[in-house]
Amino acid sequence: MKRRLVEILLVACTGLMLAACSGPMQEQTVPAASDVFAPDGPGRWLPIIADGLHDPTGPGAKQLQNPAEALFYLPSAFSGNKVRWVEAIEEGYIEPRPSILDSNYKMQVLDLDVIRTRTGEMPMVLFPHRKHTEWLDCGNCHEWLFKSKRGATRFGMFDVLSGEYCGRCHGAVAFPLVECFYCHSVRRKDLKTPVTELEMHK
């Protein structure tokens, strides 16, 4: 019975993956190979005219910048934009403006790590405020999305995968959810002072 279930699960996963990969293909004009791999970069970013989103026949397509022209020069990653955005900003590759209203505005960076412990078999989740407040305001997350109290906001991986809580940004704009261990980064045995384990929720 249990094996049966496992088999069904595996078949279902494989099926879903195949379905996702062969997904709704859109008819589009096929660009020449020289366009796809131009102008620089090893072809890790699709050019505007071949990304299945921009209309290659429209007047804008030729004027817009191809991602490779900019992203190639930033610290590289395997997923998402293929850029380590935190490194890019910390090491000064880019300096995005913090404000358009006040030219003296400084980001309010908060250096506070919060550990979330309800992770079952996975390593615990470390939420680094510093890396977030380099980009975001407190108000982009507090109090509507997360309460300012450790463990007070109840959510699990399923919510994250459904695009809520951390999944609002991660999986959409910030690094995608395939990178489990960017978030699940604290192994229980590595902690010197044990954190109070919160019970798994239902």
Partner 1 sequence: MTSRLRSHIPLPALGLFPGAVMMLGVFMLLTPFPSSAEYGDVVINKRAEQAGMRPVIFPHWFHRIRFRCRVCHTEVGFEIRAGSNNILMADIIEGRFCGKCHNNKIAWGPQNCQLCHSGLPGLESGVIGGPTTGGPSKW
Among partner 1, ligand HEC, none, the one that 21 touches (CB under a kind-dependent 5 to 8 A) is partner 1
- Interface residue with ligand HEC, options 50, 68, 141, 186 (CB under 6 A): 141
Question: Which 172-191 positions form the footprint of ligand HEC (CB under 6 A)?
Answer: 172-175, 177-180, 182-184
Among partner 1, ligand HEC, none, the one that 30 touches (CB under a kind-dependent 5 to 8 A) is none
Q: Measured between alpha carbons, how far is 141 from 73 in angstroms, rounded to an integer?
A: 30
Of 76, 37, 31, which is closest to residue 52 (Cα–Cα)?
31
Interface pattern 109-128 for ligand HEC (x via CB under 6 A):
-x---x-xxxxx-x--x-xx
CB 49 within 8 A of CB 35: yes
CB of residue 190 to partner 1, shortest distance in Å = 20
Q: Give the residues lining the site for partner 1 (CB under 8 A).
A: 2-3, 6-7, 9-10, 12-14, 16-17, 20-21, 23, 26, 28, 45-46, 50-55, 58-61, 63-65, 67, 70-71, 79-81, 83, 85, 94, 96-101, 107, 120-121, 134-137, 139-140, 158, 160-163, 167-169, 171-173, 176-178, 180
CA neighbours closer than 13 Å in the CB half-sphere of residue 160: 20
Q: Measured between alpha carbons, how far is 132 from 136 in angstroms, rounded to an integer?
A: 6
CB of residue 182 to partner 1, shortest distance in Å = 13
Task: Label the pairing between strands 113-116 and 125-128.
Answer: antiparallel
Q: Measured between alpha carbons, how far is 118 from 197 in angstroms, rounded to an integer?
A: 7
CB 75 within 8 A of CB 92: no
Phi-psi sector, 39: left (phi>0), alpha (psi -120 to 50), beta: alpha
**DSSP secondary-structure letter at 174?**
B
Q: Is 94 in the site for ligand HEC (CB under 6 A)?
A: no
Of 165, 191, 176, 178, which is closest to residue 113 (Cα–Cα)?
191
Which residues make up the interface to ligand HEC (CB under 6 A)? 64-65, 84-86, 100, 108, 110, 114, 116-120, 122, 125, 127-129, 131-133, 135-136, 138, 140-142, 146-153, 156-158, 160, 163, 165-166, 168-170, 172-175, 177-180, 182-184
